[in-house]
Amino acid sequence: MKDLKKVKYLILDMDGCVYHPKYLKTLFSQVSNRMTDFIALKLNIDKIKAKQIQSDYFYKYDTSLNGLMKNYPDLIDPKEFLKYVHNIDYDCLKKDTELREELLKLDIEIFCATNGSKEHAINCMKKIGIEDLFEGKIMDIVDFQFKPKPNPESLKLMCDKFQIPTNEETVYIEDIAKNLSSDTAKDMIKVWFINDQPINDVEKYKNVIDYKIDNLALFLKKIRLLKEK
């Protein structure tokens, strides 16, 4: 098991990590419906066909947007897509004082890496009450030059920009196990936030998972207490 005492940097995925996976269904049913509407409108197809394309592209290209950009480059404006699909109700998210306290107590650099939009990440963080802690420390799919995780180039762009080491000084937390397989993360401490999303083939990616967690604040507390010894 990799040593958490050495940790100096933390990279968090947004959805299902910064906020708990239990909120994914509420938030992403909205995002998913708006994706379907957007695809149906732009491709001039019915919603059943649009939903199928959306699902197929997600599994084949890591995000539906990536598939749309590759297959319909003249029809899809990625920034328009991101703005449209994240125009949702965030009221299910509540203040997370425990998480905020642990982030404040933990003497390491914290960052957020998301395949979604920066606006979406900030909207989520505002509801949780931690947006000020990540100011200037969020990289989204636009910053990744529309190369979604687990593409190693996306995480490398982040590490280069913020001078984050790609070794055991960095903890990388994802709710999608596949994203931990990024070659850029191979020497980091890789953590999977336990959930039952269909995309997660945990058996396939078990060798890239160093820790499994179901509570972010408690895991950060564990790191803090180990570092204080």
Q: In terms of domains, do 164 and 218 share one?
A: yes
Q: Give the Cα separation of 57 and 70 in Å (integer).
A: 10
Tens digit of each residue's pLDDT, the chain (229 residues): 789 999 999 999 999 999 999 999 999 999 999 999 999 999 999 999 999 999 999 999 999 999 999 999 999 999 999 999 999 999 999 999 999 999 999 999 999 999 999 999 999 999 999 999 999 999 999 999 999 999 999 999 999 999 999 999 999 999 999 999 999 999 999 999 999 887 888 888 999 999 999 999 999 999 999 998 8
Query: Which among 61, 85, 109 is the end of a domain?
Result: 85
Q: In terms of domains, do 42 and 131 share one?
A: no
Contact between 199 and 193 (Cβ < 8 Å): no
Confidence at residue 197, expressed as pLDDT on a 0 to 100 scale? 83
Number of separate domains in the chain = 2
Q: In terms of domains, do 78 and 107 share one?
A: no
Can you state the angle between helices 64-71 and 78-85, rounded to 10 degrees? 150
Q: In terms of domains, do 117 and 217 share one?
A: yes
Can you state the angle between helices 216-228 and 97-105, rounded to 10 degrees? 30
The CATH number of the domain holding residue 111 is 3.40.50.1000
Confidence at residue 49, expressed as pLDDT on a 0 to 100 scale? 98
Q: Are strands 138-139 and 9-12 parallel, antiparallel or unpaired?
A: unpaired
Confidence at residue 165, expressed as pLDDT on a 0 to 100 scale? 98
Q: In terms of domains, do 137 and 187 share one?
A: yes
Q: Structural domain of residue 55, as residue ranges?
A: 25-85
The CATH number of the domain holding residue 80 is 1.10.150
pTM: 0.95
Confidence at residue 196, expressed as pLDDT on a 0 to 100 scale? 86
Confidence at residue 134, expressed as pLDDT on a 0 to 100 scale? 98
Q: Is 34 helix (H, G, I), strand (E, B) or coil?
A: helix
